[in-house]
A and B are shown apart, each in its own frame.
Chain A
């Protein structure tokens, strides 16, 4: 068959049995430096973490690569400035910050959706069928 060596479509999504989502290998030659191997992730997350790490003043180096387009793996290398702050810590701090950012945005959007719902309701109760424009700006 022509598609004998065609990879299964779900391979990009499903983590295979026995494969670790995340691996960390400290560098044997460079101090406070290490490499993260993240399975079944792509540029979406890797670029985000890399950018977040670079905002951290204690991170000296952060970069990622996708070794092969058919292997759904990203490799992220991190070097920090001192042994008091390991790459693993930097990685965790970046993830925590990103998690918080998403969380705050989620809250913000949810309250915005509520605000619209409230405006719609008052508009329909005041004048039934009236067109609803953008709600007034909420105080920041």
Chain B
């Protein structure tokens, strides 16, 4: 079906009644026919905000400035994976990109020093900055944070407190100072680099004097712009006891599990699943230990050359002393993900996740808008 161009309606929200591209709007599925402009019925289930709300849920379990552990439920693996990938390489941060070395007599080469500076987290919110166009030399306060590092180690003749020879001087990221670029209003908090990071060591008399520009960028370009140290997820483990395990056996099960998933119920002495989340699915509890057949004189005669024979418990047998394979079911919930995100310091960890969701949403909106523009050029057949 060819797309017939028609006069663009003055109010786009009418033509695309099904679409509300504003960030807050609930977005029902498309009802307009793209081809002829006539209305068609689609079998596709329209978006139901209330239903979606019960399906999707988020629960934070650990929240510190640097780290967040949260449960995300109701999403499918591709969504979880997209979020993880976005957090890793598509959430922008500021990082040192241009270094002008005025003087560097340290043992580190200029480029090595510049590389180290690039990796130091810049504690500033990149969302407040514009991207500096590639190749542009002119830095403005809108797109650049400028810092200066000036250190000089005391010369050899300077006496040291311990009376011996002058020692090496450590240069830390704390010594880097922010340089305001123009008459821009001073921000409430002075931008700085993550303190406490060793940059170089200077021998007596050596000096470093350099200026650096931090610009906004993405982890896709270079890992120094990645806002996370770790952004990972795992599916929530599910452990089920399908047959009662009691008494001695229950105690053995509790001892067997290296992650202490199981516990014994008071009174009944029954084994219960207590810390399901801790299960790493090591399968120690369901491992079938194959007991080698004890060699007797007869056996040796019978199967010579065959080192050891292994025996599996028959299908209908109760659990052997070695395994709970028939009483425990191990699995995972494919729609329940446990995310753990560690920040490198630029953002709070939960903010990174929020940003990733925002970016994902923006990607979808961007493509929808691209279609909405209905340009006359080729490409929309």
B161 within 8 A of A: no
Kindly report which residue of chain A lies nearest to residue B52, judged by CB atoms.
A104
B30 near A22 (CB under 8 angstroms)?
no
B58 contacts across to A, CB distance below 8 A: 105, 108-109, 112
B78 near A102 (CB under 8 angstroms)?
no
Given contacts A25-B379, A51-B78, A93-B44, contact A101 B368 (CB under 8 A): no
B56 near A108 (CB under 8 angstroms)?
yes
Q: Which of B70-95 contact A (CB under 8 A)?
A: 70, 72, 75-79, 81-82, 85-86, 90
A20 contacts across to B, CB distance below 8 A: 370, 377, 379
B170 within 8 A of A: no
B86 near A44 (CB under 8 angstroms)?
yes
A89 to B61 alpha-carbon distance, docked (Å): 39
* Whole-angstrom distance between the Cβ of A28 and the nearest chain B Cβ: 9
Given contacts A13-B221, A105-B72, contact A99 B52 (CB under 8 A): no
Kindly report which residue of chain B lies nearest to residue A12, judged by CB atoms.
B220
* Whole-angstrom distance between the Cβ of B79 and the nearest chain A Cβ: 6
Given contacts A105-B72, A112-B59, contact A41 B357 (CB under 8 A): no
Q: Which of A1-43 contact B (CB under 8 A)?
A: 8-10, 12-14, 20-26, 32, 34, 38, 41, 43
Partner-contacting stretch, out of B100-108, B181-189, B358-366: B358-366
A134 contacts across to B, CB distance below 8 A: 61-62
B78 contacts across to A, CB distance below 8 A: 47-48, 50-52
User: Which of B26, B76, B363 is in CB contact (< 8 Å) with A100?
Assistant: B26
A25 to B286 alpha-carbon distance, docked (Å): 53
B85 contacts across to A, CB distance below 8 A: 43-44
B137 within 8 A of A: no
Q: Mark B31-58, 1 if CB is under 8 A from A, else 0.
A: 0011100001111100101001110111
B41 contacts across to A, CB distance below 8 A: 84
Q: Which of A100-130 contact B (CB under 8 A)?
A: 100-106, 108-110, 112-113, 116
B52 near A8 (CB under 8 angstroms)?
no
A86 within 8 A of B: yes
A57 near B354 (CB under 8 angstroms)?
no
Q: Which of B322-381 contact A (CB under 8 A)?
A: 350, 353-354, 357-358, 360-361, 363-368, 370-371, 377, 379-381
Q: Mark A35-75, 1 if CB is under 8 A from B, else 0.
A: 00010010111011011100011100000000000000000
A93 near B61 (CB under 8 angstroms)?
no
B222 within 8 A of A: yes
A56 near B367 (CB under 8 angstroms)?
no
User: Which of A22, A32, A85 is in CB contact (< 8 Å) with B370?
Assistant: A22
User: Which of B49, B60, B81 is in CB contact (< 8 Å) with A116?
Assistant: B60
Kindly report which residue of chain B lies nearest to residue A119, judged by CB atoms.
B63
* Whole-angstrom distance between the Cβ of A26 and the nearest chain B Cβ: 4
B65 within 8 A of A: no
* Whole-angstrom distance between the Cβ of A55 and the nearest chain B Cβ: 8
A98 contacts across to B, CB distance below 8 A: 79, 360, 364
B318 within 8 A of A: no
B27 within 8 A of A: yes
A95 to B27 alpha-carbon distance, docked (Å): 10
A99 near B368 (CB under 8 angstroms)?
yes
B62 contacts across to A, CB distance below 8 A: 134
* Whole-angstrom distance between the Cβ of A85 and the nearest chain B Cβ: 6
A102 near B361 (CB under 8 angstroms)?
yes
A109 near B354 (CB under 8 angstroms)?
yes
* Whole-angstrom distance between the Cβ of A6 and the nearest chain B Cβ: 13
A2 to B171 alpha-carbon distance, docked (Å): 33
User: Which of A8, A83, A96, A108 is in CB contact (< 8 Å) with B19?
Assistant: A96
Most buried by B among A10, A32, A50: A10
User: Which of B1, B220, B368 is in CB contact (< 8 Å) with A92?
Assistant: B368
User: Which of B49, B57, B353, B381 is in CB contact (< 8 Å) with A24?
Assistant: B381
Given contacts A88-B34, A134-B61, contact A21 B370 (CB under 8 A): yes
User: Which of B35, B81, B361 is in CB contact (< 8 Å) with A103?
Assistant: B361
8 nearest A-B residue pairs (beta carbon): A99-B364, A51-B78, A102-B361, A108-B58, A23-B379, A22-B370, A44-B85, A26-B381
Binding site for A on B (CB under 8 A): 1-2, 18-19, 23, 26-30, 33-35, 40-44, 47, 49, 52-54, 56-63, 70, 72, 75-79, 81-82, 85-86, 90, 134, 218, 220-222, 350, 353-354, 357-358, 360-361, 363-368, 370-371, 377, 379-381
17 residue pairs bridging A and B, Cβ less than 8 Å apart? A21-B367, A32-B1, A44-B85, A47-B82, A48-B79, A48-B82, A91-B371, A92-B30, A92-B34, A92-B371, A97-B47, A99-B364, A105-B56, A105-B357, A108-B57, A116-B60, A116-B63
